[in-house]
Amino acid sequence: MVIFGTALLAACYLAGVIIGEGIAALIGVKANVGGVGIAMLLLIAAQHYLQKRGLFAVDTAKGVTFWAMMYIPVVVAMAATQNVIVAFKSGPIALLAAAGSFAICILFISLINRVIERAHIASAALEPVSDDHDPASDLSVAPDHR
């Protein structure tokens, strides 16, 4: 059902916000640190886990897809509420948090790419086309029996 996809997204969002608040408390910042990003990572992980076990139905995916299309406007609206000037005036912790999150993103992207390569999920390389190959021979046209 569509509502299950929305519920999955809501659960991931709540968990991400709680983790983001926990990170903020650990480093002494009075704002959520990466809650939405963490929520999206949790959603990707949950979706992959459920798909791998055959528990992620097409209707459930519709609930996730709807909110995925709303992701950018929601993030822009949330970012608009952040007070960047106060963050910079509070000291170098904002710059350190930004640099740290950037470094962590690079590491995660690298890790994901390696997992994809090892699992052979990436698309196979295209075979080179020889000069004497006729692309029209690749098309299968059914005879017209009228």
43 by Cβ neighbours in 10 Å (0-12 / 13-18 / 19+) ranks as: buried
* Assigned domain for 130 exists: no
Q: What is the pTM of this model?
A: 0.50
CB half-sphere exposure, 22, CA atoms < 13 A: 7
Domain identity same for 25 and 64: yes
Domain identity same for 90 and 47: no
- Segment 102-121 mean pLDDT: 85
How many domains are there within the chain?
A: 2
Give 34-80 pLDDT, tens digit per residue: 888 888 888 888 888 888 888 878 777 777 777 777 766 766 666 66
With cut-offs at 50, 70 and 90, classify the pLDDT of residue 115: confident
* Assigned domain for 143 exists: no
Q: Please report, in angstroms and rounded to a whole number, the separation of the first and last CA atoms in the chain.
A: 44
Domain identity same for 13 and 75: yes
Phi then psi for 130, rounded to 5 degrees?
-80, 165
Q: Which residues, including other chains, have CB under 8 Å from residue 18's CB and lie 6 or more apart?
A: 35
* Assigned domain for 140 exists: no
Q: Is the pLDDT of residue 125 over 60?
A: no
* Assigned domain for 135 exists: no
Final residue in a domain of this structure, among 31, 65, 82 = 82
Q: Which long-range contacts (CB under 8 A, 24 or more apart) does 58-61 make?
A: 59/1, 59/2, 59/4, 59/5, 60/1, 60/2, 60/4, 60/5, 60/8, 61/5
Q: Do you know the residue count of the chain?
A: 146
Domain identity same for 89 and 78: no
Residue whose entry in the numeric block shows the structure tokens 């992959």: 48
